[in-house]
Structure 1
Amino acid sequence: MDYEIFELGDVTLQSGETLPNAFLAFKTYGTLNQDKSNVIVYPTAFGDTHVNNKWLIGKGMALDPEKYFIIVPNLLGNGLSSSPSNTPSPFDRNHFPQVTIYDNVRLQHRLVTEKFSIQKIALVVGWSMGGIQSFQWGASYPDMVERIAPFCGGARTWPQTYVVLDGMKAALMNAVGFDSSKLNQLTSADMRAVGRVYAGWGLSQAFYREKLYRVLGYESLEDFAVGVWENSFMKMDPHNVLAMLWTGQNADISANPSYNGDFDEALKSIKALACVMPGSTDLFCTADDNEYEAKLIPHAVFNPIDSIWGHFAGRGINSVDNNFIDDNLRRLLASGTN
């Protein structure tokens, strides 16, 4: 096992439901310095684990473990942290309680403060749903978080994003005839259609038009659809996916007692230096949505990733995009805080 477990005990979620014996799976890189000032938190995205974040961590990179103590907490529902697939009955599979981004960040805050006694975070960074978590960290703990760097992820699930996630959910619901009482019959084979639905959103029109899937070793569009989209989604547990889809569809940094749904106020309350990096051709976490958000954050720069890799400009696949993100993180970490 290449990660650690932080036991949370019985947790009362935002919904009021209790998740018994909850736990966060996490991975750390580097060493915490004496004054605990070198902390970076790097949450995982939908369907990802800490392994998927490794591409942005390394010697000589902005996220250098020889310089920083990097904590990568796994999203609730991803199969490593508390999830439908690893929680005992009666909270397993379709009976797993609804978990919000706010819940995730609150529990990550417990990990950071209770296990490591950390009071300041130099940077929270993340891709996609990891990006939403970085915004939430900034809004929930404005005096603790010095910098945030969300890329290809919004501070809430805007209507277009919601619809895309709803299409993925519908593919699973269709497998059981839209009968929610039969959801526990779902298997990983039912994820094949979900992969096909997502294939049109993860990358841009130009990516497909220019046949960039050949760069990834796929000769035809069909080979790519099967080899990447079907196969990667069929490795996921459908109940974990439904749980994460709910988390994603209901993401909003203002949907909590601190802001009572006042989204603009939540953005204005972020004190961190922010570098907001959407993918310029992202089809469902759009640059326009991020631009609106960045304008309301007092100390934000809006710096789109100029790429035809769509949402996957932030996936760690294309070296030009990777270098752009790394360069922006380097500049952000070099900048003084307020």
Structure 2
Amino acid sequence: MALDYEVYDLGNVALQRGATIRDCKMAYKTYGTLNPGQDNVIVYPTWFSGQHYENEWLIGAGKALDPTKYFIIIPNMLCNGLSSSPSNTPEPYNGPRFPQVTIYDNVRAQHRLLTEKFGIKRIRMVAGWSMAGLQAFHWGALYPDMVDVLAPFCGAARCSRHNFVFLEGVKAALTADAVWMEGWYTDKPARGLRAAARVFAGWGLSQSFYREQLDAKALGFSSLEDFLVGFWEGIILPRDANNLLAMLWTWQNGDISDNEIYKGDFKAALRAIKAKTYIMPSKTDLYFTPEDSEIEAANMPNAKFIPIPSVWGHFAGGPGLNPEDGAFLDSKLKELLAS
């Protein structure tokens, strides 16, 4: 079967936390053509557990991410099953032995892909939902002179303490499965994956979403249980459990100031972002709250706080479930690209 993506060989990648991924691979897909001036580049990373094809809903002719105008690169995050991950790395670093990877590590690897493979020196925009928003903020802080505009939506510049606690619940549910075996499972820990999906279900969408019964009215599920199984368990069950846990660690340890450049000074890292930025939280997001986004915008020199007026919680930002949210997001991305 032909792959619909390419793989860049990064060689041995020394990670922020001290380990090394040997023969590290970054899977990526491009859309459109790099123009002669190399000034039409959009970087659009993947989200927690997502792969490039799950980003494609926001790309198309006439949309903000228009491949007839822009050269769009979707780098797959490390640990997502396509780039180097617990599930595809040979012994001895396979499964739960896979090294801890930070968002910083991901963005440094993506920078190598852009500069070494394509010779790109300037990025028009970095945009992304959820953990891709974490990556967008990192691009702005780590390479402030390279990025024109940033559009993190339903994301944050660091994982908040409340967000961290929520993710502890996901991890606890996943690893409570009897077949988990400390990550050395031989059978898929399906009960743990289903349990983790139900933890996500209470957080990914807002109270208003459930009150208004949009699981039935907008998405067509026949009952709440049908939605929990068909939608939430349907998302999580196909994923590899070790990959999910590795990415949960990456998420929990996401922080633009946690590196040798900013040495933990979060406000200094925010102040260093030169790119014009639209910070677009969902008004009802329980993962990355509007309050956190307001604090970020207030400490950045060129940022605008633009909440998405939605009851779809975190899923206002993707992956294309609610057409109204998609249209709002697309219009703001067009506005930002035109500025």
Identify whether the pair has TM-score above 0.5, normalized to the shorter chain: yes
The match for 1:324 among 320, 325, 328 is 328
Q: CA deviation at 1:258?
A: 0.5
Asked if structure 2 preserves the Cα contact closer than 8 Å seen for 1:188 and 1:234, the reply is: no
Asked if structure 2 preserves the Cα contact closer than 8 Å seen for 1:188 and 1:235, the reply is: no
Calculate the TM-score normalised by the size of structure 1.
0.97
Q: CA deviation at 1:151?
A: 0.3
**Residue of structure 1 equivalent to 2:107:** 105
Asked if structure 2 preserves the Cα contact closer than 8 Å seen for 1:188 and 1:236, the reply is: no
* 2:259 aligned with 1:256: yes
Asked if structure 2 preserves the Cα contact closer than 8 Å seen for 1:273 and 1:300, the reply is: yes
**Residue of structure 1 equivalent to 2:184:** 184
**Residue of structure 2 equivalent to 1:160:** 162
For structure 2, list consecutive stretches of 5 or more residues without a partner in the other structure: none
Q: Following the alignment from structure 2 to structure 1, what is the Cα–Cα distance between the partners of residues 323 and 199?
A: 26
Q: CA deviation at 1:318?
A: 0.5
**Residue of structure 2 equivalent to 1:302:** 305
Q: Following the alignment from structure 2 to structure 1, what is the Cα–Cα distance between the partners of residues 267 and 70?
A: 32
**Residue of structure 1 equivalent to 2:273:** 270
The match for 2:204 among 186, 202, 206 is 202
Asked if structure 2 preserves the Cα contact closer than 8 Å seen for 1:176 and 1:182, the reply is: no
Asked if structure 2 preserves the Cα contact closer than 8 Å seen for 1:28 and 1:71, the reply is: yes
Count of aligned positions:
333
Q: Following the alignment from structure 1 to structure 2, what is the Cα–Cα distance between the partners of residues 93 and 320?
A: 40
Q: CA deviation at 1:292?
A: 0.3
**Residue of structure 2 equivalent to 1:128:** 130
Asked if structure 2 preserves the Cα contact closer than 8 Å seen for 1:152 and 1:282, the reply is: yes
Q: Following the alignment from structure 1 to structure 2, what is the Cα–Cα distance between the partners of residues 140 and 252?
A: 12
For structure 1, list consecutive stretches of 5 or more residues without a partner in the other structure: none
Q: CA deviation at 1:188?
A: 4.3
Give the aligned residue type for 2:158. Answer: R
Q: CA deviation at 1:173?
A: 2.3
The match for 2:226 among 223, 228, 232 is 223
Q: Following the alignment from structure 2 to structure 1, what is the Cα–Cα distance between the partners of residues 69 and 233?
A: 39
Q: CA deviation at 1:164?
A: 1.1
**Residue of structure 2 equivalent to 1:31:** 33
Q: Following the alignment from structure 1 to structure 2, what is the Cα–Cα distance between the partners of residues 300 and 15?
A: 31
Q: Following the alignment from structure 1 to structure 2, what is the Cα–Cα distance between the partners of residues 128 and 154?
A: 8
Calculate the TM-score normalised by the size of structure 2.
0.97
Q: Following the alignment from structure 2 to structure 1, what is the Cα–Cα distance between the partners of residues 9 and 219?
A: 39
Superposed CA offset, 1:274-326 (max 9, x none): 00000000012101001100111111111000000000000121011001110
